[in-house]
Amino acid sequence: MKSIKQPTYHSLVSLIHIICWGMFLGFPLVFAQRSDGSIDWSAFMHHSLIPAILCLLFYINYFILIPRYLFQKDTTKFLAINLMLILMAGFGIRWYNEVHLLPMPVPRPDRPLPPRFLFYLRDVASMCFTVGVCVAIRLSIRWKETEEAWNEAVKSRTEAELRNLRNQLNPHFLLNTLNNIYALISFDTEKAQQAVQELSKLLRYVLYDNQQMFVPLQKEVDFIRNYIELMRIRVSPQVTIRTRFDIKPKSQTPITPLLFISLIENAFKHGISPTEPSYIDIEITEGDKEICCIIKNSNFPKSESDKSGSGIGLEQVRKRLELVYPGCYEWQIRLSDDKKEYSSFIRITL
């Protein structure tokens, strides 16, 4: 869910304050209305005293006491100041009512007026309630701001980790590709030159588009196609490479870049034999709410002495899936019972 923009949020909060306090301060008009419909302004001022003091106490806490003392963990001073303000306001209200007492109806003998201290308790309780509401509102706002700051920090950390992973992946990818070209130079110079041209297309994508958090699926698929064509130059006729890209025309579905390339590199590394027939099947499909990548290849694992790639690619895939699509992906790796076919299946829920 998108967060509310700050100017809009503050405007909404200000409007709520104006409406609520406008209604609260306007309520004494009910008691100041004469029988003929006119307003007794003297009675209105009298009945507005307590709402005005409650409003003043609310905003003294809202703007001064809570940020300065409560948020700074100086709870004792916060409570002491509020207690002093409430007692001063309570006695002030009682003094004002006694000096400017409005004519009161004569009480009935069977229903005498309640004791005076009950009015003190009523006023003090109202002010304590107002302070409590103010504290609750300010704490909820602070909690929201803290949560947004935390989410922003998590987002920044995730982006930093992804940038770090991409920075690790780019040299890894480039090293593997240069090794392929180096192998071509020794026996087919013309193919090596063609490979350099294909590499320039790949580098343009890696250096520029890869810096974004997401890229359109069509661009990612075009990059994969170019990479596969580069690899075709190197492999022997005994290797069968089949591809299927079933995506929407010019698909703009966002996907994190270079996510599948490590799996494809892995297929070319472990799926090709220099002496035996080999195959690599690569399939990427797009549904309404998911993207699937299925890679199958013949299995010819390298010897332990072969450290090319150092196994960094698959670990990168796992970390990036967990960072970008937490809880929204499925990754299955399977080796056939006869250990002759290796398959990898990734489904990403959009």
What tokens does 315 get? 């670990």
Tokens 């004469």 correspond to 34
- 2-10 own/partner pairs: CB under 8 Å, 24+ apart: 3/148
What is the tens place of the pLDDT at every residue in 29-71? 666 666 666 766 666 677 788 888 888 999 999 999 999 999 9
In angstroms, the CA 27 to CA 46 distance is 12
Give the global pTM.
0.56
Q: Which uninterrupted H or E stretch holds 110?
A: none
Contacts for 89 with CB less than 8 Å, ≥ 6 apart: 53, 57, 123, 127
Per-residue pLDDT of the chain (350 residues; tens, 9 = 90+): 344 456 666 676 777 777 777 777 676 666 666 666 676 666 667 778 888 888 899 999 999 999 999 999 999 999 999 999 999 998 888 887 777 655 555 555 666 666 777 878 888 999 999 999 999 999 998 998 888 888 887 777 777 766 665 665 556 667 767 777 777 777 777 777 777 877 777 777 776 766 678 889 999 999 899 888 888 877 888 999 999 999 999 999 999 888 898 899 889 888 988 888 999 999 999 998 999 999 999 998 766 555 454 455 788 888 889 888 999 999 999 999 998 999 999 999 98
Tokens 């399977």 correspond to 334
Our CA angle for 64, 69, 73, nearest 5°, is 150
